[in-house]
Homo-oligomer: A and B are copies of this chain.
Amino acid sequence: MIRIGIFGATGYTGLELLKLLGRHPAGRIAWLTSENSAGQQFGDIFPVPPALGGHTLIPSAEADCTSVDVVFCCLPHVAAQTHVAAARKVGARAIDLSADFRLRDAATYEKWYGHPHRHADLLAEAVYGLAEVNREAMRKARLIAAPGCYPTSVQLGLIPLLEADLIDTQTLIANAASGVSGAGKQAKVDNLYAEVNDSFKAYGVGGHRHLPEIEQGLNQVAKQPVQLTFVPHLVPMTRGIHSTLYARLKPGVTGADLQALFEQRYAGEPFVDVMPKGSTPQTRSVRGANVCRLAVHQPQGRDTVVVLAVIDNLVKGASGQALQAMNIMFGLAETTGLGAPALLP
């Protein structure tokens, strides 16, 4: 049994993680924190089976990290740092779903997040939890930074092309679209139903915080600094991320079998699904599932490659991927507890 504590259990990623753990044979919840709902039972707030619902939420100040094997931190960045550091201090392993331990460089963190990192000493220990790239390092990790939602879909879509050195690394484009749950459960006018429904817009064009995370990850596989233009959009839907990725084939690259390249790259990956040639994956096809579905196109046979990548931002883009990280970290079968099919229609 793996004893688990969760900081921030009542946000969207906390709830999703709890539900996934409800089917996990080896995870056992020790405690759940919530500042706003402390004292209530989890089942008073959310419709979950009694086994999960019976846990009484505690304030994070009462959370005892010595009583657990691993801590999941489902808090926003900044708040996350403190609790991850506290957990690590007493030897508990930590999986952080915030952005606090994703960037390796404290200066980059400060530039994009607007304040100094308070636990920069832990950055060296942190492993970026994209199993499809860093699986070996994750096995031995004590602190894993679960990748962001956009970064997961963008990286999985571009990795095969970059590893095979087929594309120009300076003209990458990620046109991404997310459901509104990606913004979390905070009361903001911009995320009201009446403000979002039946409309579509870009945002963060000038610079979204996921850009340095994506470029860092792509730099690693490309073994050189890449340049990516990243434009996120808001879709009137609850869950799901769809990334449409554009890359220029290098001069002279002709006749590459991109479909085969993708299929081979992800042949052994349990949570990456390369779709048949010509496919256009829908976000609902991964709703609730820990899967990234990919399709690769070369429109008109011209030299621009288009990759389509869909994930559920709360599952493969957050809590599912975090649980996948736990499975790896504790030597369990990687798919444990993560087999739920998509909910559609």
Residues of B contacting A302 in the complex (Cβ-Cβ under 8 angstroms): 227, 229
Instruction: Verify B180–A197 contact, CB threshold 8 A.
Output: yes
Is A59 part of the binding interface, using a Cβ–Cβ cutoff of 8 Å?
Answer: no
Instruction: Verify B47–A285 contact, CB threshold 8 A.
Output: yes
Instruction: Verify B233–A177 contact, CB threshold 8 A.
Output: yes
Instruction: Verify B47–A293 contact, CB threshold 8 A.
Output: yes
Instruction: Verify A244–B233 contact, CB threshold 8 A.
Output: yes
Residues of B contacting A285 in the complex (Cβ-Cβ under 8 angstroms): 47, 199
Would you list which residues of chain A between 253 and 305 have a CB under 8 Å from chain B? Answer: 273, 278, 280-289, 291, 293, 297, 299-300, 302, 304
Instruction: Verify A206–B237 contact, CB threshold 8 A.
Output: no
Is A29 part of the binding interface, using a Cβ–Cβ cutoff of 8 Å?
Answer: no
Min CB–CB distance A198 → chain B (angstroms): 4
Question: What is the interface residue range for chain A against chain B?
Answer: 35 or more
Instruction: Verify B297–A206 contact, CB threshold 8 A.
Output: yes
Q: Which residue of B47, B202, B280, B342 is within 8 Å of A203 (Cβ)?
A: B280
Question: Which B-chain residue is minimally distant from A187 (CB atoms)?
Answer: B187
Is A306 part of the binding interface, using a Cβ–Cβ cutoff of 8 Å?
Answer: yes
Is A134 part of the binding interface, using a Cβ–Cβ cutoff of 8 Å?
Answer: no
- The answer to whether A289 and B231 touch (CB under 8 A), given A173-B246, A191-B194, A207-B299, is no
How far is A299 from B180 in the complex, measured between Cα atoms in Å?
23
Residue numbers of A with Cβ under 8 A of B are 12, 15, 19, 22, 46-49, 52, 171, 173, 175, 177, 179-181, 183, 185-189, 191-203, 205-207, 211, 227, 229-231, 233, 235-240, 242, 244, 246, 248, 273, 278, 280-289, 291, 293, 297, 299-300, 302, 304, 306, 308, 310, 314, 339-345
A-B contact pairs, 20 of them (CB 8 A): A15-B345, A46-B344, A47-B289, A173-B173, A175-B246, A177-B200, A193-B197, A193-B236, A195-B345, A197-B197, A197-B238, A197-B345, A199-B240, A200-B237, A201-B242, A201-B282, A207-B299, A229-B302, A235-B235, A314-B345
